[in-house]
Amino acid sequence: MHRAKVRLEDRGLVECPRWHDGELWFADWTSGEILALSEHGTVRVATTAKAPPLSFDFGPQGDMYVVASRASHLLRFNGSALEEFAELGANGWNEIVIDPHGRIYVNGPAILLIHPDGTVETQAEGFQFPNGMALSPDGRTLVCAESWAKRLTSFDVAADGQLSHRRVWADLPGPPDGICFDAEGAIWYADVPNAYCRRVREGGELLDEVKLDRGAFACMLGGPDRTTLYITAARWFGMDKMDQMGGTGQLLSVEVETAGAGWPHG
């Protein structure tokens, strides 16, 4: 049984961990901030958005792209402020992952493919609350967590980024939230109501588990060797009670054997 180490506490509803340039980046939905935690434990605010929930990822050149749920555009951080990058249409957008070619996938009412020039193409629709997304180590499979369906859904990724061959990657006992791949092709997923992160193989075989005392919202393998599993956790009272989650949010970490791989890139 793993014992998670608390790296930061007294935050709000924390989400979307990303390991980037030696820091753990994350979003605090309660405060509407994207922050970075250094290896020395200091926290800095990278940017603030007016429309959380928030998720973000980094392109191959280090540019940060941001999804603000109630905004109709994908945003890009120019180093000092957020600017509009691509038109998404109706709001309700959720997660984002960027491949090594700079192609961006965003989910919500659909999964969208946004090309580096800002062109947007719809790839798939009809999800039961799409949530975390990740690309496999070889870049040929995209997996999307469908929280309400309690499953991970996968697609083949073509050389031009187009998605096809939609199928169930794994049925799960609870609703998956944030996810990440490791070097063996297994997936870690976070589960809010069951308060754990689990590592599963394609097909759903349970390989490992980290139990928490509050909801696990997302996880990311990072650190210098990508063998540190970072977890964002908080007590969940409902989206309309986000202000009540202030002070319950934590960033935790656990050392694991298999390093992270794929994208989001640690």
Q: Could you tell me which of 150, 140, 143, 247 has the C-alpha nearest to residue 192? A: 150
Angle, CA of 117, 121 and 127, to the nearest 5°: 135
**Model confidence over 180-194: pLDDT tens digits?**
999 999 999 999 999
Are 12 and 242 in contact, with CB atoms under 8 Å apart? yes
Residues β-bridged to residue 133: 144
Instruction: Give the strands of the sheet with 187-191, arranged side by side.
Output: 176-181, 187-191, 196-200, 206-211
Q: Is 78 strand, coil or helix? A: coil
Strands (E), 59-213: 64-68, 73-77, 82-87, 96-98, 104-107, 110-114, 120-125, 130-135, 141-146, 151-157, 163-171, 176-181, 187-191, 196-200, 206-211
243 pLDDT above the threshold of 80: no
What's the pLDDT at 1? 66
In this prediction, residues 197-220 reach a mean pLDDT of 98
DSSP code at position 259? P
Instruction: Give the integer Cα–Cα distance in Å for 216 and 47.
Output: 24
Are 175 and 192 in contact, with CB atoms under 8 Å apart? yes
Instruction: Give the integer Cα–Cα distance in Å for 108 and 90.
Output: 10
**Model confidence over 129-176: pLDDT tens digits?**
999 999 999 999 999 999 999 999 999 999 999 999 999 999 999 999
Cα separation values, 252 from 197, 217, 249, 266, Å: 11, 11, 10, 16
Instruction: Give the integer Cα–Cα distance in Å for 74 and 103.
Output: 13
Burial 6-29 (b: 16+ CB within 10 A, else e): ebbeebbbbbbbbbbeebbbbbbb
DSSP code at position 134? E
Q: Could you tell me which of 56, 24, 36, 45 has the C-alpha nearest to residue 221? A: 24
Q: Is 246 strand, coil or helix? A: coil
In this prediction, residues 46-73 reach a mean pLDDT of 88
pLDDT band at residue 266 under the 50/70/90 scheme: low
The identity of residue 178, as a single letter, is G
pLDDT band at residue 244 under the 50/70/90 scheme: confident
What's the pLDDT at 214? 97
Residues β-bridged to residue 127: none
In this prediction, residues 210-237 reach a mean pLDDT of 96
Instruction: Give the integer Cα–Cα distance in Å for 129 and 127.
Output: 6
Cis amide bond preceding 264, omega within 30? yes
